[in-house]
Amino acid sequence: MITFTIDGIEVEGEKEQSVLEVALDNGFGIPHLCYHEALKPYGACRLCLVEVTKGGRTRLTTSCNYPVLEGISVQTNTEKIMRARRMVIELLLARCPDVPVIKDLAEEYSVGEPRFIVDHDDCILCGLCERVCREVVGADAITFLGRGSGRKVGPPLEINPKTCIACGACVYVCPTDCIKLEETDKERTIVRWGRTLPMKSCKVCGRPFAPWFQLDYFGKITDGIPKDFWDTCPDCR
C-alpha cells in the first residue's frame, strides 16, 4: 500500500493506481471528463488538475495519469487550480454551450458567459469513444482525425466504419451525449458514424435483439461457445 495525503488527509492507494482514482474512492470531488475507470487515462480535458508536491517541488499536473507515490502531498483546490479549472470550463463552454454536463460544470464553478466567440459543437474530444472501442470492444472502428482546431473523431477517412459492430459502447461512455443510437425493427444505426447494421431476431421470442455483424464478431472473438448461443436473445437464454 502506498500512503500519501490529499488536501492534508492521509489516504492509501495501490501501486499502479492514479491519484484521481484514489481521490475519487475517498470522496474528493475532482472534476473530470475524459477519465473512465475501465479505460487507460488520456489526460486531455485538463479538468482533473491538481498540485502535487514531491521532493520539495510542486507542480500542476493532471491527476488521472499521475501514479500514486509514497509521501507525496496532493492539493485539489488551490487558487492556482481554481484559476486554471475555471478557464478550462470557460473554453469548453465557448466550444459546447448547449451540452448539459458543461453547463453544469459552469454553474458549479461560477463560470459565466464565455468571453470568446461561441461555437455550437457537441463534442469535447475527450476520446472516450475511441478508447472504449479500441481497448474494451476491440473493434477499433473510430479514431481521432485531423489536428488542432480541425480535430474530430470518426471512422478513418470518414467513410463507413467497417469494423463497427454497433454495440453502443461509445454512446454509453460519451459525456456530452453527442453519439446517438437509433433503432427500428430491421436495423440499428450509430448516427454519428453513419453506421447502419441489419438486426437479427431471436429464434425463440422473435424480437430483434442485436445486429448480425455484432453477433458474428462475438462468435469470432470467443472460444468454446456453441453456435446456437447467438441465435437467442439474452432474455430467452
Partner 1 sequence: MRRITTPQELEEVRKEIQEGRDPSKPCVAITSGTSARAYGSEKVVDAFREELKRRRLGKKVDLRVTGGQGFDEREPLVIIYPKDIMYQRVGPNDAGEIITETLMNDRIVDRLLYANPQTGEKTVRKDEVPFYKGQMPIIFGNNAYIDPTKIEDYLAIGGYSALVKALTEFSPEEVIDTIKRAGLRGRGGGGFPAGVKWESCRNATGDKHYVICNADEGDPGAYMDRGLLEGNPHSVLEGMMIGAYAIGSDEGYVYVRYEYPLASENVRIAIEQLRECGLLGSNILGTGFVFDITVSRGGGAFVCGESTALMASIEGEAGEPRAKHIHTVESGLWDQPTNLNNVETWANVPLIINKGADWYRGIGTEGSKGTKIFSLVGKVNNTGLVEVPMGMTIREIVYDIGGGISDGGRLKGVQTGGPSGGCIPESLIDIPIDFDKLDEVGSMMGSGGMIVMDNKTCMVDIAKYFMNFLKDESCGKCTTCREGTRRMYEILDAITLGEGKEGDIELLEELSWVVSEASLCALGQTAPNPVMSTLRYFRDEYEAHINEKRCPAGVCKALITYRIVKEKCTACGKCKKVCPSEAISGEKKVPHTIDPKKCIRCGACISECNFDAIEVV
For partner 1, the binding residues (CB under 8 A) are 42-47, 49, 59-62, 65-66, 80, 83-84, 87-88, 91-92, 94-95, 115-117, 124-125, 144, 146-151
Q: Sign of the C-alpha dihedral, residues 157, 160, 163, 165?
A: positive
Min dist. Cβ of residue 64 to partner 1 (A)? 9
Least CB distance from residue 166 to partner 1, whole Å? 25
Nearest approach in angstroms of CB 52 to partner 1 is: 9
Shorter beta-carbon distance to partner 1: residue 46 or 188: 46
Neighbours of 228 (CB within 10 A): 8
Helix (H) or strand (E) holding 189: strand 187-190
Could you tell me the smallest distance in angstroms from the CB atom of residue 149 to partner 1? Answer: 5
End-to-end CA distance of the chain: 43
Nearer to partner 1, 2 or 60 (CB): 60
- Considering beta carbons, is residue 44 or 210 the nearer one to partner 1? 44
CB atoms within 10 A of CB 39: 16
* 30: nearest Cα among 9, 54, 42, 46: 46
Cβ-based nearer residue to partner 1, 66 or 193: 66
Write the DSSP string, 110-155: T--S-SS-----------HHHHIIIIII-----EEES-GGG-EEES
Q: At what angle do helices 100-108 and 79-95 cross, to 10 degrees?
A: 150
Which cell is 84 given?
486554471
C-alpha atoms less than 13 angstroms from C-alpha of 122 in its C-beta half-sphere:
7
Cβ-based nearer residue to partner 1, 5 or 143 = 143
Torsion angles phi and psi, residue 75, rounded to 5: -115, 135
Nearer residue to partner 1 within complex by CB, 117 or 159? 117
Nearest Cα residue to 180 out of 122, 104, 96, 118: 122
To the nearest whole angstrom, how small is the minimum distance from the Cβ of residue 47 to partner 1? 8
Residue 202 CB, shortest distance to partner 1, in Å, is: 41
For the bound state, the minimum distance from the C-beta of residue 218 to partner 1, rounded and expressed in Å, comes to: 28
